[in-house]
């Protein structure tokens, strides 16, 4: 459906041909200001941006307008990644049946034709849900191309090479095997149903309906529903991933039982995965206490292995005076840091939308036995123009990214540097989701255990006015230069070590 903003843009284009094929990406109103984000197939001059801004303000008297423009054109590879990402992120019931072989793309000028080739039951689902029109609407808000798609049922000859490596029952996509773990010492607690086998949390992304997960409780929060009833928000970690679910009950006996569920408890839960406000939502129906098998280590999902050698980005040993001064504490370092490796990561991106924005820089530092020993940094050409806002925020310009490696060239080196270390970041979900999504498109599966200095700081420094990275760093007198990735990674690493000293 066209909006008044779309109509105004069409009018402006008819008067000013230098705007190219400009389209509305988003328009957000907040506190008297409309922030308008536009895409075009040409670079829009500052004078044209002012022309657009003044035109919008004439149409919206009394409202302040901010305008940002992006040159955004998709080629065949970008279009293919975007289509696969859309299917895997929005078609939860069949996401496990979509892979790199499912989509083929051809381009002709600005027109992009694509074909989705899937098994008959998956094709029926995609046709029923009108996915082609949804993809067209979504991608034409991101790129100044025209998208035309078709869904085709694969023949028997095509089915085998696409799915045999994934151990799929070709007769029924719903039988796709996911990794599971059989829990030990299950003690019935708050459910009449008996169960002991859980799906890996990392494999739960494409599941809808009844499901079982197990993990260590890392957060438990009592909340109030709109009707004034108490419910609990519980977060589990099974070392393959984390998931939060809501547990609703008006049964006072069950609520009293829930008091015995503490952070650190290991449970297996039964629940329902459904879609709420276009996002997956996990409702917990019941749970039992249990234990992981002795020596449990999550099985790796099959995927590309890290390269044997670095190719475009290389680690650098850390030998700074500041580091030596910082780590003269020796025996005061917490035990949990000893004999273990952490890689602290920070990224810069073209925006905050994990489905459409791109990574422009990766910075990481390795902590070994409580000491920062190595760093890794690379700029990345996102193959799209940066907005003025992002350049102001990060200090990264389009010129700086010319000639830098593409994500498919830099990502293998990052995966090699990360290895099996614990992934650490501030507001880790943001960095982890971006890097996980980028890796998935390239055939790598990021499944490292991860820790979040934002969550840790809220627990051990509850008196701070907020828990932004610069606030936490200021508390520890850590040098902080926002917003470049490697500098932020160093600051986060130093904060992580200091926070660990305060953890019980």
| Residues taking part in catalysis | 483
**271 contacts 213 by C-beta, under 8 angstroms:** yes
What phi and psi values does residue 345 have, to the nearest 5 degrees?
Answer: -125, 145
Rounded to whole angstroms, the Cα distance separating 294 from 380 reads: 42
Residue 311 tokens read as: 């190719």
How many beta carbons lie within 10 A of that of residue 92, not counting itself? 19
Phi, psi angles (nearest 5°) of residue 407: -60, -35
> Where does 3-73 have alpha helices with state H?
4-15, 46-59
Report residue 94 CA to chain centroid gap. 19
The whole-angstrom distance between residue 201's C-alpha and the CA centroid of its chain comes to: 15
If DSSP codes are grouped into helix, strand and coil, which group holds residue 192? coil
Sheet containing 33-40, strands listed edge to edge, beginning at the edge strand earlier in sequence: 23-30, 33-40, 64-71
How far apart are alpha carbons 282 and 215 in whole angstroms?
A: 14
Q: Which helix (H) or strand (E) holds 38?
A: strand 33-40
Three state DSSP letters for 334-381: CHHHCCCEEEEEEEEECCCCCCCCCEEEEEEEEEECCEEEEEEEEECC
Judge residue 228's burial from the number of C-beta atoms within 10 Å of its C-beta, 0-12 exposed, 13-18 middle, 19 or more buried: exposed
At 489, list the tokens: 């990674």
Instruction: Using CB atoms within 10 Å of the CB of residue 190, give its burial: 0 to 12 exposed, 13 to 18 middle, 19+ buried.
Output: buried
Task: Please name the helix (run of DSSP H) or strand (run of DSSP E) that holds residue 158, with its range, or none.
Answer: helix 156-163
Three-state DSSP class for 387? Answer: coil
CA distance 47 to 277: 39
Task: Give the burial class of 260: count Cβ atoms within 10 A of its Cβ; 0-12 exposed, 13-18 middle, 19 or more buried.
Answer: exposed
Cβ atoms of 236 and 243 within 8 Å: the answer is: yes
Omega before residue 180 within 30° of 0, cis: no
Q: Are the beta carbons of 378 and 413 closer than 8 angstroms?
A: yes
Q: Exposed e or buried b for every residue in 240-250, given b needs 16+ CB within 10 A?
A: bbbbebebebe
């Amino acid at each position: 459906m066209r909006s008044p903003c779309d109509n105004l843009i069409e009018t402006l284009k008819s008067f000013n041909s230098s705007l190219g094929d400009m389209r509305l990406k988003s328009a957000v109103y907040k506190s008297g200001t409309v922030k308008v984000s536009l895409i075009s197939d040409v670079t829009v001059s500052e004078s044209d941006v002012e022309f657009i801004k003044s035109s919008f303000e004439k149409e919206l008297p009394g409202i302040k307008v901010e305008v940002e423009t992006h040159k955004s054109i998709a080629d065949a590879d970008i279009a293919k990644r975007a289509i696969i990402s859309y299917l895997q992120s929005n078609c939860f019931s069949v996401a496990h049946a979509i892979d790199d072989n499912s989509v083929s793309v051809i381009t002709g000028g600005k027109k992009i034709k694509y074909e989705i080739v899937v098994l008959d039951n998956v094709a029926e689902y995609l046709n029923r849900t009108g996915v082609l029109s949804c993809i067209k609407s979504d991608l034409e808000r991101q790129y100044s191309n025209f998208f035309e798609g078709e869904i085709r049922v694969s023949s028997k000859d095509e089915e085998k090479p696409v799915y045999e490596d994934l151990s799929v029952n070709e007769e029924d996509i719903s039988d796709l095997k996911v990794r599971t773990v059989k829990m030990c010492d299950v003690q019935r607690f708050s459910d009449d149903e008996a169960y002991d086998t859980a799906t890996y949390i990392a494999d739960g992304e494409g599941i809808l309906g009844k499901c079982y997960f197990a993990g260590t409780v890392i957060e438990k929060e009592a909340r109030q529903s709109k009707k004034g009833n108490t419910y609990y928000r519980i977060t589990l970690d099974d070392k393959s991933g984390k998931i939060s679910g809501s547990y609703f009950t008006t049964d006072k006996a069950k609520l009293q039982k829930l008091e015995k569920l503490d952070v650190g408890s290991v449970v297996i839960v039964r629940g329902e995965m459904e879609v709420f406000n276009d996002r997956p939502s996990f409702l917990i129906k019941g749970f039992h206490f249990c234990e992981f098998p002795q020596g449990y280590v999550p099985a790796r999902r099959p995927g590309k292995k890290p390269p044997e050698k670095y190719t475009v980005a290389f680690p650098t040993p850390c030998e700074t005076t500041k580091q030596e001064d910082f780590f003269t504490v020796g025996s005061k370092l917490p035990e949990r840091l000893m004999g273990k490796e952490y890689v602290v990561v920070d990224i810069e991106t073209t925006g905050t939308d994990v489905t459409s924005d791109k990574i422009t820089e990766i910075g990481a530092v390795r902590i070994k036995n409580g000491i920062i020993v190595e760093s890794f940094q690379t700029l990345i050409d996102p193959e799209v123009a940066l907005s003025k806002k992002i350049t102001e925020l990060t200090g990264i310009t389009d010129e700086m990214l010319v000639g830098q490696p593409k994500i498919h060239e830099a990502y293998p080196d990052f995966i090699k540097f990360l290895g099996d270390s614990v992934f650490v970041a501030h507001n880790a979900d943001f960095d982890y989701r971006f890097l996980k999504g980028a890796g998935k498109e390239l055939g790598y599966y990021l499944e490292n255990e991860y820790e979040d200095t934002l969550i840790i700081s809220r627990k051990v420094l509850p008196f701070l006015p907020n828990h932004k990275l610069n606030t936490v760093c200021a508390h520890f007198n850590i040098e902080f230069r926002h917003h470049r990735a490697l500098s932020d990674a160093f600051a986060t690493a130093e904060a992580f070590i200091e926070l660990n000293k305060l953890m019980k």
